[in-house]
């Protein structure tokens, strides 16, 4: 096993353990993956293994078509959705699917999250959309998720959870937590009153900054 892959497998174990610890999932739910730099391959958490007991050597390596290249465990059932992001988005180095509480509430309500706070569009790329419902693990869900994601870093999956990407695992994990924080602010704001939108010119400027940071300009 190469040093790079070993390091990335250890990172997947580290961030995987943080998923239930930070209340982003319960039990085995959710999944994480990372692109191996310079290769058209992806390391992805296996299905049916608790994060707390997952060992680096149990993490399979797949190609962008989803074929297992290394490892004896079955890749996550959401493999198709992760690979759809890597195939479409060259800026995506890591992908995390979680079942966060407030993010899932917005997915259940079918309510997109508008930019509400100055830093939001810079990190998420604009309004976070809700991908149309399809059964978990299906190619149709992967296509809907990709459509909803667009050129941003996050999307809600209707009646399911969240999907976030970043340049590496640290960033994808941060985006997942940041999205949850923004979702919580939005849901509670809606319960109390009518949230004030950010000025259009601020949103426009922040999306420009986002595109610049993501090499889209
Ligand atoms: Zn899920």
Task: Write out the residue range of the structural domain in which residue 189 sits.
Answer: 3-213
Tokens of 109: 């309500």
- Dist. CA 86 → ligand 1 center (Å): 18
Catalytic, out of 39, 57, 58, 78? 78
3-state secondary structure the chain: CCHHHHHHHHHHHHHHHHHHHCCCCCCCCCEEEEECCCCCEEEECECCCCHHHCCHHHCCEEECCCCEEECCCCECCCHHHHHHHHHHCCCCCEEEEECCHHHHHHHHHCCCECCCCCCHHHHHCCCECEECCCCCCCHHHHHHHHHHHCCCCEEEECCCEEEEEECCHHHHHHHHHHHHHHHHHHHHHHHHCCCCCCCHHHHHHHHHHHHHHCCCC
Contact predicate 41/63, CB 8 Å: yes
- Dist. CA 76 → ligand 1 center (Å): 10
How many structural domains is the chain composed of? 1
Whose CA is closest to 135, among 177, 80, 73? 80
- Dist. CA 137 → ligand 1 center (Å): 8
Residue 78 annotated among the catalytic residues of the structure: yes
Give, for all 217 residues of the chain, the pLDDT tens digit: 589 999 999 999 999 999 999 999 999 999 999 999 999 999 999 998 999 999 999 999 999 999 999 999 999 999 999 999 999 999 999 999 999 999 999 999 999 999 999 999 999 999 999 999 999 999 999 999 999 999 999 999 999 999 999 999 999 999 999 999 999 999 999 999 999 989 999 999 999 999 999 998 7
- Dist. CA 13 → ligand 1 center (Å): 18
């Amino acid at each position: 096993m190469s040093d790079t892959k070993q390091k990335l497998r250890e990172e997947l174990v580290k961030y995987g353990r943080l998923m239930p610890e930070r209340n982003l999932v319960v039990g085995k739910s959710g999944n994480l993956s990372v692109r191996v730099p310079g290769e058209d391959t992806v390391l992805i958490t296996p299905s049916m293994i608790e994060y707390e007991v997952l060992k680096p050597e149990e993490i399979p390596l797949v190609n962008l078509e989803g074929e297992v290249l290394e490892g004896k465990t079955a890749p996550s059932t959401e493999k198709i959705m992760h690979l759809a992001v890597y195939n479409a988005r060259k800026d995506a180095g890591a992908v995390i699917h979680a079942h966060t509480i407030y993010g899932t509430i917005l997915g259940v309500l079918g309510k997109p999250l508008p930019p509400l706070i100055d830093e939001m569009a810079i990190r998420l790329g604009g309004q976070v959309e809700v991908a149309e419902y399809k059964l978990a693990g299906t190619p149709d869900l992967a296509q809907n998720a990709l459509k909803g994601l667009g050129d941003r870093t996050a999307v809600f999956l209707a009646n399911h959870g969240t999907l976030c990407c970043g340049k590496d695992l640290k960033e994808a994990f941060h985006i997942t937590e940041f999205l949850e924080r923004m979702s919580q602010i939005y849901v509670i704001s809606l319960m109390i009153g009518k949230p004030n939108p950010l000025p259009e010119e601020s949103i426009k400027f922040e999306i420009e900054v986002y595109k610049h940071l993501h090499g889209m300009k």
